[in-house]
Amino acid sequence: MDLSKKNILEKFELFQDQWKPHIIGELNGQQVKLAKLQGAFVWHSHEHEDEYFQVFKGKLFMEFRDRTEVLEEGDMIIVPKGVEHNPFTRADEEVWVLLFEPMSTQHTGEVVHERTHNDQKWI
């Protein structure tokens, strides 16, 4: 177990790829991940897992079938298991998010898409 501190903003500087989460920690069966997002993603849900999103930079739009929540820097949202959602950003803005997800979480649930990345790496 790694007991050293980690600077989240420095970790964000270690990668440039978008829509591909990177793992920075694990606790109680959960993974802590960072991702850079820009543009559209894909509608999906996670049958057995809740997801936590926290915005560090930019503005994230979390689309649900009945509404859209706008998350700005410092905002967070928990998407309950089974709820279909589609995170997206303005095309001209990169957004940095921190995620908490159970280790079993598939990136896009049962949906297979060109942006699906289930082989996520540690940074």
Of 8, 117, 109, which is closest to residue 51 (Cα–Cα)? Answer: 109
Is residue 102's pLDDT more than 70? yes
Structure tokens at 48: 């057995």
Domain ranges of the chain: 18-102
CATH number of this structure's domain 18-102: 2.60.120.10
This prediction has a pTM of: 0.84
Report residue 99: phi and psi, to 5°: -125, 145
pLDDT, tens only, 19-73: 999 999 999 999 999 999 999 888 988 898 899 999 999 999 999 999 999 999 9
Is residue 96's pLDDT more than 70? yes
Given this model, what pLDDT does residue 117 score? 60
Of 104, 102, 97, which is closest to residue 20 (Cα–Cα)? Answer: 97
Q: How far is CA 2 from CA 11, 26, 79, 91, 103, in A?
A: 15, 10, 29, 37, 18
